[in-house]
Structure 1
Amino acid sequence: MKKYWGKGFATEAAKASVNFGFNKLGLNRMIAMVLSENAGSIRVLQKLILNLKRRLLKIIN
C-alpha cells in the first residue's frame, strides 16, 4: 500500500515493538532482519538503532 509509505508508520510500529519487548516482556536482546534491497526497512532499523544508542547514553551518563 504505497500511499502509506514514508509516513512514519513502520518506524512507530517498530519503536512500539522494541519498547514492548524490553519493557513489558523483559527481553534483554532483540534481533531484526531485513532484505538488503528493502531500503525503507533498512532506514527504519537505522532510526531504531540511533534511538537505542541515545537511550543507552542517557542511562550511562
Structure 2
Amino acid sequence: MTKIADLRALTPDQMSEELLKLKKEQFNLRFQAATGQLEKTHRVGEVRKDIARLSTLLRQKQAAA
C-alpha cells in the first residue's frame, strides 16, 4: 500500500508509469487467482485501491494544469 503523500510528490509522468506497473501487477494477480496459485488474496484489493488513488491524483493534477 502506497502512502498518499508519496503519490502526491510524483510528477504526472511518474504517476503514469506507476499506474501502468500497478495494472500489470493486477493482471498477474488475477491470472494467479484464476489458476489457483494466488497466496496473498488481500493484495488484489490493495492493488485495486492503489490504482484508484493514483488515477484520482493524476486526474486532479491534469485538471489543475
Q: Say whether the fold is shared (TM-score over 0.5).
A: no
TM-score by length of 1: 0.40
TM-score by length of 2: 0.38
Considering fraction of residues, name the structure with more helix: 2
